[in-house]
Amino acid sequence: MVIQRKTVQFRGIQIPYLYEDVYYPQEDTLFLLDVIERHFASFYQNTETLSILEMGCGTGLISAFLAKKYHMAKFMLVDISLHALKVAETVWELNSLNRHSVSFIKSDLFSALKPYKKNFDVIIFNPPYVPEEKQMVSQDILTISWSGGSKGLSVISAFLTEASFYLKKNGEILLLTAQFSEKDTFPQLASQLGYEFHLIAEEKIVNERLKVWRLRRKFLINRKRR
């Protein structure tokens, strides 16, 4: 006898409920999803060859939402948590999405992606961004999913250092950040790492100011992937 696990619905996507060690969609996820929906409607009319990488996919809600709407797009979902990837696979099945349009890769950021030799039109990332000035005592997967290290930018910095190598010539990154104080240091970081960037949306949620950025390479970098 197969036991049907309870599901919850986010933006028309069914997600199995509840895994305690998987980061579930919160206000930041839904804000990013709303921004991405509007952005895609404006910029991506032809999705026949569109390739999308969702880094740190968690439950895979954002990619599943896009896959339901853009049937011809191809997806790669990446997460450090094997359990999260299993949930994302289940989400794909629950919503009857095309299994041939997606691959699920366990990786710490881009560390396991080099052998695939793929570049993407769009890279989406809702990163760990909560400032954690002291070294993390806990190294469990759920803590890693929210802790952004010093000033909340450690994971974002590591991500952007490598991300440009995985973009197509005119590819873009859609990245969520959070500002916890009056000073926002992200623009300086993005500029130092060789990106053009535009703030496309922001919203105040409790003590956080969430921002979604669109980033492109300023120039082609003549270095090999690590």
Q: Would you list the domain boundaries of the chain?
A: 9-17+27-37+47-217
The model's pTM is 0.87
Partner residues linked to 216 by β-bridges: 196
pLDDT reported for residue 211: 95
pLDDT reported for residue 82: 93
pLDDT reported for residue 133: 55
The helices-and-strands tally (H runs, E runs) of the chain is 6, 9
Instruction: State how far Cα 25 lies from the chain centre.
Output: 12
pLDDT reported for residue 206: 76
pLDDT reported for residue 152: 53
The more confidently predicted of residues 131 and 127 is 127
The more confidently predicted of residues 4 and 94 is 94
pLDDT reported for residue 159: 96
Given a cut of 70, is residue 2 above it in pLDDT? no
Q: pLDDT-based confidence at 110, cuts 50/70/90?
A: very high
Distance CA 212, CA 226 (A): 27
Partner residues linked to 78 by β-bridges: 55, 105
pLDDT in tens, 10-29: 999 999 976 677 888 999 99
Q: Which run of H or of E encompasses 195? A: strand 195-205
3-state secondary structure 87-143: HHHHHHHHCCCCHHHEEEEECCCCCCCHHHCCCEEEEEECCCCECCCCCCCCCCHHH
pLDDT reported for residue 153: 84
pLDDT in tens, 133-173: 555 444 555 444 444 455 558 899 999 999 999 999 999 99
Distance CA 197, CA 220 (A): 15
pLDDT reported for residue 208: 82
CATH fold, domain 9-17+27-37+47-217, is: Rossmann fold (3.40.50)
Q: What is the mean pLDDT of the chain?
A: 85
Phi, psi of 188 (to 5 degrees): -65, -45
Given a cut of 50, is residue 103 above it in pLDDT? yes
Given a cut of 90, is residue 68 above it in pLDDT? yes
H runs (alpha helix) in 133-192:
141-144, 154-163, 186-192
pLDDT in tens, 162-214: 999 999 999 999 999 988 656 788 999 999 999 999 999 999 987 788 999 99
Token reading at 61: 């809600």
